[in-house]
Amino acid sequence: MRQDRRLRRRNETVQEILDTAIEVMAEEGVAALSLAEVARRIGIRPPSLYQYFPSKIAIYDALFERGMRRSVEILAPYRATIADDPCGAIAAGQEATIAWMTANPVLAQLMYWRPAPGFEPSSQAFEPAVQQLEILREALQAAVNAGQLAPAAASEEGLALYTVLISGVISQQLSNEPSAPPGQGRFTRYARTALDMFFRYYAPEEGETDDPILRRSRTAAPD
């Protein structure tokens, strides 16, 4: 019982450190994170903080994992609707994800950029990112199987193109209007347009548009 209490207190302190680190980064910038400032704000000495996180990189890693795990959790209810309407589930999941990203710009920067010199997520922290990509792959394949999208949509090219489009929307929003409320951003309002472009490009039938760009070959470019 005593050991359980110690573990609970330790976990609570870890979360307090991470929450405070986000506050500091929101004010000073992600790369300007100071462990001494984090320790001061939570009322402990820096050497005590090192018992929980030996470096800034360790804090970045924990926050990256926190953000990625939350993004996977957000997709869970939409994943359950993939079988009924794959493209609808993709659109709804995308909307919820972008809303969360714009409401949590510090974590979004860690997840989509590399704002902290020397930081690369550990394999453990990156595992939820792999899960997120697999959920997308599952949804795209379901859309192919349902006849909503062409087979190439679920290829490596299709996955890459989707991530370029959506991460580009998020990146533009974070760069230009990081404080805009979710759903009111100058760039995030185009997220559905970007998704519709993706759906049109990978439409199962050829000849649905006269736009030569959208009618170009869906075959992957050679390496």
Tens digit of each residue's pLDDT (9 = 90 or more) over 9-41: 889 999 999 999 999 999 999 999 999 999 999
Using the predicted structure, report yes or no on whether residue 175 has a pLDDT greater than 50. Answer: yes
Instruction: Judge whether 87 and 149 are in contact, CB under 8 Å.
Output: yes
How does residue 5 score in pLDDT terms, banded at 50, 70 and 90? confident
How far is Cα 96 from Cα 172, in angstroms, rounded to an integer? Answer: 17
Q: Which residues contact 89 (CB under 8 A, 6 or more apart)?
A: 78, 79, 81, 82, 139
Q: pLDDT, tens digit, for every residue of 71-88?
A: 999 999 999 999 999 999
**Matching residue, tokens 């470096």:** 55
What is the CA angle 200-156-79, rounded to 5? 70
What is the CB neighbour count within 10 angstroms for residue 145? 13
Find the mean pLDDT for residues 111-124: 91
Rounded to 5 degrees, φ, ψ at 210 are -90, -5
What's the whole-number mean pLDDT along residues 163-181? 88
Mean pLDDT of 53-68: 96
Give me the mean pLDDT over the 39-62 stretch. Answer: 94
What's the pLDDT score for residue 207? 47
Q: Among residues 29, 39, 34, which one has the least CA distance to residue 56?
A: 34
3 state SS of 106: helix
Residue 112 token pair: 């989509």
pTM here is: 0.84
Would you state the pLDDT for residue 185?
A: 84
pLDDT band at 63 (very low <50, low <70, confident <90, very high): very high
